[in-house]
């Protein structure tokens, strides 16, 4: 695919989920599909006709095992935040239909014990998880998502 073809592709609608614990640390997990240092917060696609908040709670449980009753939705971004994939990844992900994702982000406060977290799901996306401070997560996120994470952290600054 040429850069011009990619630039004409739409963004995939997606939610991002920033889960913070009582210490203000953020849930982060290592992607299972790479050996590189690629930690991220949970995220996932919004199904056609699905409410973004419902999608966020669904994706959270699908990826981490955390049920909706173990979190409190504290805030959400007013806008959708886009990011572009590196051009070499576009044909490999989502059948090449999207140039990247635009995400509605949700800030969730984790209310349960860590024992509720189970990344060994039906279709695992993560190989490890931990509570991480924001600065460390910014260092460990894949570079093409760093600007998005900086924007999300700024929008939720001082809220949790």
3-state SS string for 114-158:
HHHCCCCCCCCCEEEEEEECHHHHHHHCCHHHHHHHHHHHHHHCC
Taking alpha carbons only, the member of 90, 29, 19 closest to residue 56 is 19
15: pLDDT strictly greater than 80:
yes
Q: Is 70 helix (H, G, I), strand (E, B) or coil?
A: helix
Q: State the DSSP code for 100.
A: E
Stretch 53-64: mean pLDDT: 97
Confidence grade of residue 86 (pLDDT, cut at 50, 70, 90):
confident
Q: Any idea which of 37-41, 74-78, 89-93, 145-149 has the lowest mean pLDDT? A: 89-93
Q: Average per-residue pLDDT in the chain? A: 93
List CB contacts of 65: < 8 A, sequence separation 6 or more: 116, 117, 118, 119, 120, 121
Q: State the DSSP code for 46.
A: P
Global pTM? 0.93
- What is d(CA 131, CA 24) in angstroms, rounded to the nearest whole number? 9
Whole-number pLDDT of residue 153: 97
List CB contacts of 69: < 8 A, sequence separation 6 or more: none
What does the block give as tokens for 97?
A: 């239909």
Stretch 56-72: mean pLDDT: 97
160: pLDDT strictly greater than 80:
no
- What is d(CA 46, CA 93) in angstroms, rounded to the nearest whole number? 16
End-to-end CA distance of the chain: 41
- What is d(CA 141, CA 63) in angstroms, rounded to the nearest whole number? 17
């Amino acid at each position: 695919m040429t850069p011009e073809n990619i630039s004409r592709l739409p963004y995939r609608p997606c939610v991002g989920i920033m889960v913070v614990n009582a210490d203000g640390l953020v849930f982060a997990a290592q992607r299972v599909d790479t050996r590189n240092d690629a930690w991220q917060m949970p995220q996932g696609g919004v199904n056609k006709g699905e409410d973004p908040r419902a999608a966020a709670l669904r994706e959270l449980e699908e990826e981490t095992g955390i049920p909706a009753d173990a979190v409190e939705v504290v805030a959400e971004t007013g806008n959708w935040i886009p990011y572009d994939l590196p051009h070499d990844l576009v044909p490999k992900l989502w059948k090449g239909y999207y140039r990247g994702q635009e995400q509605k982000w949700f800030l969730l406060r984790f209310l349960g014990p860590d024992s509720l977290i189970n990344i060994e799901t039906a279709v695992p996306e993560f190989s490890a998880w931990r509570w991480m401070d924001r600065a460390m997560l910014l260092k460990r996120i894949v570079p093409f998502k760093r600007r998005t994470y900086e924007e999300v952290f700024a929008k939720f600054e001082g809220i949790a």
